[in-house]
């Protein structure tokens, strides 16, 4: 997508320096900073500190991290150490494990002297595939938006509510939840997006920044506003992303998604999840019981970052000095609250049958996988 007229992906390979470049998202939406990632430690920090974030982007970054690991030392022993090191960076987004395992399957059968080049080629492939998957999700989501638009009177916009940032910055390009929005906007369908703030890290501000750069009408709302808007007929559909969706269609996403799903259900608002296939965890069915939920630093809840009038970006404290904070970063929406899963192969019912019908090949391949393996 474009930033100030220039096309960007959220990460890119600098062939002059042979180094990966990323957008350091900690400074968005106020400052657009990019940085090269040159060491294993920097790769791990980029994921842990959420300089790169969003399930698909975490996966693609991990593939480039393994490419660096193989350049440093292509031995089996180093591969396994690097796999474990990067796999421990963030626990919830399954794309991380997916990308690391894809590297394992592709690289370990090769002679050591071929691994570094093959790893880099694979990382490029994973990044490019992500862009293609998200473009397809956009087309399938566009059809859903078009259907709703057709029922609107006098060209009124389709009101879409989204949570967190499942935008191009959370993927390599297009985004998952935002891809249908960009496609609809580009097709001339009037849309308006309600953007949840998404405390504690306020990823909604990043979504607003993205939508604003692309000219998509939107309104930033506090997390607690969604139920009220739905109750008053001001939301036509919800589209969110996901960090891990189980084989039966339970959806794990940013904390607060579950509450939006409950409100949508109570108000008959369709609740869609944009789901790229690498985000499906075929090894588990019950999301509430089996998805590890990341518990992040409490400081993210007791403090908030923003821009001061002089333009500087500062962190301020919102609670009393001694208030303990709690920070579960994700929650699970059970499949019965999900209207449909918008995948690259079409819209699936959030059920074992629904996912297996669209992805028989992946479901079968996963039969040999162990939970967490
Ligand atoms: O903690 P984050 O910002 O990495 O969480 C991101 C989300 O929850 C997104 O909705 C999800 O990763 C899907 S991104 C296409």
Active site (annotated) includes residue 130: no
Q: Using one digit for the tens of pLDDT, what is the confidence trace for 322-332?
A: 999 999 999 99
50: Cβ contacts below 8 Å, ≥ 6 apart: 25, 26, 201
pLDDT at 2: 77
Query: Domain limits of the chain?
Result: 2-129, 147-369
Q: Is the pLDDT of residue 256 over 70?
A: yes
Q: How far is the CA of 113 from the centre of ligand 1 (A)?
A: 36
Distances (CA, A) of 39 to 5, 20, 84, 118: 31, 10, 16, 19
Mutate which of 91, 92, 93, 273 for ligand 1 pocket (most atoms within 8 A of beta carbon): 93
Q: How far is the CA of 329 from the centre of ligand 1 (A)?
A: 10
Q: How far is the CA of 217 from the centre of ligand 1 (A)?
A: 22
Q: Whose CA is nearest to atom 8 of ligand 1?
A: 254
Q: How far is the CA of 239 from the centre of ligand 1 (A)?
A: 13
Token pair, residue 112, equals 């050591």
50 CA closest ligand 1 atom index: 4
Mutate which of 170, 198, 330 for ligand 1 pocket (most atoms within 8 A of beta carbon): 170
Nearest-angstrom CA–CA distance, 228 and 197: 15
> The CATH number of 147-369 is which of 2.40.50.200, 3.40.50.10470, 3.30.1360.100, 3.30.1330.10?
3.40.50.10470
Q: How far is the CA of 254 from the centre of ligand 1 (A)?
A: 6
Q: What is the mean pLDDT of the chain?
A: 97
Using a 6 Å cutoff on CB, does residue 171 contact ligand 1?
yes
Separation of first and last alpha carbons in the chain: 34
As a whole number, mean pLDDT of residues 68-97 equals 98
276 CA closest ligand 1 atom index: 15
Q: Using one digit for the tens of pLDDT, what is the confidence trace for 338-356?
A: 999 999 999 999 999 999 9
CATH topology of domain 2-129: 1.20.120
Q: Using one digit for the tens of pLDDT, what is the confidence trace for 161-196?
A: 999 999 999 999 999 999 999 999 999 999 999 999
Distances (CA, A) of 126 to 11, 14, 60, 64, 114: 12, 16, 6, 9, 18
Q: Is the pLDDT of residue 369 over 80?
A: no
Choose, from 130, 196, 243, 281, the residue flagged as catalytic.
Answer: 243
pLDDT at 345: 98
Using a 6 Å cutoff on CB, does residue 329 contact ligand 1?
yes
Residue 371: pLDDT band by 50, 70, 90 thresholds? low
Nearest-angstrom CA–CA distance, 362 and 367: 9
Q: Whose CA is nearest to atom 5 of ligand 1?
A: 54
Strand extents, DSSP E, 173-329: 191-196, 218-221, 237-240, 244-246, 251-254, 271-274, 280-281, 303-307, 313-317
Q: Using one digit for the tens of pLDDT, what is the confidence trace for 107-157?
A: 999 999 999 999 999 999 999 999 999 999 999 999 999 999 999 999 999
Using a 6 Å cutoff on CB, does residue 53 contact ligand 1?
yes
Token pair, residue 276, equals 């790229």
Using a 6 Å cutoff on CB, does residue 200 contact ligand 1?
no
As a whole number, mean pLDDT of residues 23-43 equals 97
């Amino acid at each position: 997508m474009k930033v100030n007229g220039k096309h960007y992906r959220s990460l890119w390979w600098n062939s002059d320096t042979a180094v990966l470049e990323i957008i350091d998202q900690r400074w968005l939406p106020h400052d657009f900073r990019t940085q090269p990632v040159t060491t294993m430690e920097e790769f791990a920090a980029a994921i842990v500190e959420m300089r790169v974030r969003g399930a698909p982007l975490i996966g693609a970054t991990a593939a480039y991290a393994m490419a660096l690991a193989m350049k440093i030392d292509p031995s089996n022993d180093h591969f396994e150490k690097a796999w474990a090191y990067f796999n421990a960076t963030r626990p919830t987004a399954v794309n991380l494990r997916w990308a690391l395992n894809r590297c394992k399957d592709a690289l370990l059968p090769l002679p050591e002297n071929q691994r570094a080049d093959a790893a880099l080629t694979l990382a490029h492939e994973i990044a490019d595939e992500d862009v293609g998957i998200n473009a397809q999700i956009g087309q399938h989501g566009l059809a859903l938006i078009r259907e709703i638009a057709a029922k609107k009177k006098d060209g009124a916009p389709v009101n879409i509510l989204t949570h967190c940032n499942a935008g191009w910055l959370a993927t390599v390009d297009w985004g998952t939840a935002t891809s249908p929005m960009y496609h609809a906007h580009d097709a001339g369908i009037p849309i308006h997006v309600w953007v949840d703030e998404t405390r504690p890290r306020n990823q909604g501000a990043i979504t607003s920044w993205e939508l604003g750069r692309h000219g998509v009408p939107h309104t930033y709302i506090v997390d607690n506003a969604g139920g009220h808007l739905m109750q008053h007929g001001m939301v036509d559909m919800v589209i969110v992303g996901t960090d891990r969706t189980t084989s039966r269609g339970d959806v794990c996403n940013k904390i607060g998604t579950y509450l939006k799903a409950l409100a949508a259900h109570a108000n008959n608002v369709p609740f869609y999840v944009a789901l790229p296939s690498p985000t499906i965890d075929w090894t588990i069915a019950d999301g509430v019981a089996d998805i590890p939920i990341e518990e992040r630093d409490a400081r993210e809840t007791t403090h908030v970052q923003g821009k001061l009038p002089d333009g500087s970006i500062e962190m301020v404290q919102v609670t009393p000095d001694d208030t303990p904070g709690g920070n579960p970063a994700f929650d699970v929406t059970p499949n019965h609250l999900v209207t449909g899963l918008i995948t690259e192969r079409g819209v699936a019912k959030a059920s074992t049958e629904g996912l297996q019908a669209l992805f028989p090949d992946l479901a079968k391949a996963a039969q040999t996988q162990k939970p967490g393996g």
